[in-house]
Structure 1
Amino acid sequence: MPIDRYPAIITRGVDAHPTDAAIFCSGDLSKALEYTMAPTGQRAGLVMIFRGPLLRPSFKIPPDEASVEDPEAVHRDYPHIHDDGLTRWRSRAPNSTVFGYEEAYGYWIPGDPFTALAAVLLVGDIAECLD
């Protein structure tokens, strides 16, 4: 992600606002690096590294509402309903349009983001990082 997101990360533990909003991440460092510098053309960027077990998927495929043990919690945690023509799902992301992308990369942090955040890597030209 762009280096200008660093103040948000060190202030809140994640660049999302609110901090329990959907985030998109991958366990594959090469995938994360795709989003580090290319979108902005900068020569430096950031990669957040999270403790995976502290993240939750940002979506749920709704079963029959009658079979859900706590429907209020599902509605609270996944308030948005989406349908891409193939799949209908509940999500934390208000504008999710393709289930496959959210299924692969969509997460949220239900607790303290600083506990979930393991490291922040500065990647690229060190002179640009210091500017």
Structure 2
Amino acid sequence: MALTIASAGHGAAPSQVICELGRVVVADMPPSSDRGIYFIETNPAQDGLMKMCPHLAHKLPAGYAAADDDARSRAAEHVPTPGPQRPPAVIATIGVPLIAADGRSATVKVTTECSGMCGSGMLYRYVRTAKGWRRDGKPTPSWVS
């Protein structure tokens, strides 16, 4: 029996299809060469792609690490604190892809939280081709802080 997800305005999609697209989304994360700063939220207890597809936590792109408690604490520092400054952290959380009823396109929300006064929400659009899923254009900003 396949696990399915449904969302208002979108059809149900089997978890296999969601995870297949999720693998592409993870691989599409912007390149990072700053190790120790860029993370992807992989905690399966939190809502998002990694809850539905926990195996993707082992397929992070170069330059990214799985978010841990230290990274979450650093990313949550939004005002200067007394004493030595800790290294900044940027954590991306990938939402569960919302696949269109016809199965040919999908949108994925990626949010970031980072040290200082920064964060963002971006919408990525993907289309299914004969060769699999591919991103369609540049991401669209939903919000920026």
Higher relative contact order (CA 8 A, sep 6+): 1
- Greater share of residues in helix: 1
| TM-score of the two chains, using structure 2 as the length reference | 0.27
Larger relative strand fraction: 2
So what's the TM-score if we normalise by structure 1?
0.29
